[in-house]
Amino acid sequence: MARSDTGTKIKVKDEGGLGETIKVVVQALLIALVVRTLLFQPFNIPSGSLVPTLLVGDYLFTSKYTYGYSKHSIPFSPPLFSGRIWAGEPKRGDIAVFKLPKDNSTDYIKRVIGLPGDRIQMIEGVLQINGKAVERRRIEDYATTDPYGRRTSVPQYVETLPNGVAHKVIERDGDNGYWDNTNVYTIAPGTFFMMGDNRDNSTDSRDEASVGAVPFDNFVGRAEIIFFSIDENASAWKVWEWPWTVRWSRILNPIR
C-alpha cells in the first residue's frame, strides 16, 4: 500500500505476481510453437551420411515455408489435413529433412537427387541422371574413419548436378561399394530420390527396402544454416569444454 497526500490508502498493482509470470511463459511457448510449425525447426545431425557437407554434431535450422505445409509440418504429424498447402517443390540439390516413408515418424535428412519422372542409376560410383553421367571432379582426399573407427583418407569429389548445384561427395569404399552399382530407379510422380553425400555410408533412396523414393507430403523442410556445431565425441552441455570442442568455423555457415 501507498498513502496519498490526503491520507487515503492507494493499492499499488503487483506487476511481478505468479499470474503475470504464467502469462509470459504461455505467450513464449505459443510463439515458439508458431515459429517451429510455420517458420523454422531445429535439428541435429546424429550420423555421417551427409559428410563432408554436414558432420555429426552439427545443429541446423530448416525452413518450413520453403516447401509449404503438410501434416508433417506439425509436431507429431496429426492427421489434420491431407496433401500440402502453399506447396513449393524441392529443387535438385536441396538438402531436406523428411519423415521416413516406412513409418512416417522418423526424421531423415538427405540431398534431393532425383525429381519425379527421372531415371537414376549408379555405375561404378558415378551418378547417372536420365542416362547421362553427372560431372564429377576429383579433389583432395577427405580425412575420416573407416568402418572400424580407424583414421583414414578417402577419395573426395565435387559433383555438379544438371541444374548447376555443386557439392562435395566422398567414396569411403572407392567406386565399388555396395550401392555404387545399381539398377535404374524410375521416380514416380509426386516422389523424390534422396541420397547422402557420404555415398558408401548412407541409407537412402537406393535402399528401397529401408527408404525408397520419398513422397512430397513427407517433406518437413529445407536445411538452411548451421547454428551450432560440436565435436561428435563431446557433450554440448559441458559448456566449460566449448573452447576446444565447439567447431567455431562452422557456426552460421549456410548449407549448400
User: Would residue 49 show up in a list of annotated catalytic residues for this protein?
Assistant: yes
Q: Out of 64, 71, 99, 110, pick the active-site residue.
A: 110
- Please state whether the peptide bond connecting residue 46 to the residue before it is cis, i.e. omega within 30 degrees of 0: no
Within 8 A by CB and 6+ apart from 65, the residues are: 38, 39, 86
Distance CA 134, CA 122 (A): 10
Q: Out of 49, 70, 73, 205, pick the active-site residue.
A: 49
Antiparallel, parallel or unpaired: β 95-99 and 219-229:
antiparallel
Within 8 A by CB and 6+ apart from 191, the residues are: 116, 213, 214, 215, 216
Strands (E), the chain: 2-3, 9-10, 40-44, 58-63, 95-99, 107-114, 119-123, 126-129, 132-133, 135-145, 151-160, 166-170, 185-186, 191-195, 214-215, 219-229
Within 8 A by CB and 6+ apart from 33, the residues are: 75
Nearest to 215 by CA among 116, 109, 108: 116
Q: Is 57 helix (H, G, I), strand (E, B) or coil?
A: coil
How far lies 235's CA from each of 56, 105, 239, 243, 245, in Å? 12, 26, 8, 13, 9
Distance CA 12, CA 23 (A): 20
Q: Any idea which residues carry the catalytic annotation?
A: 49, 110
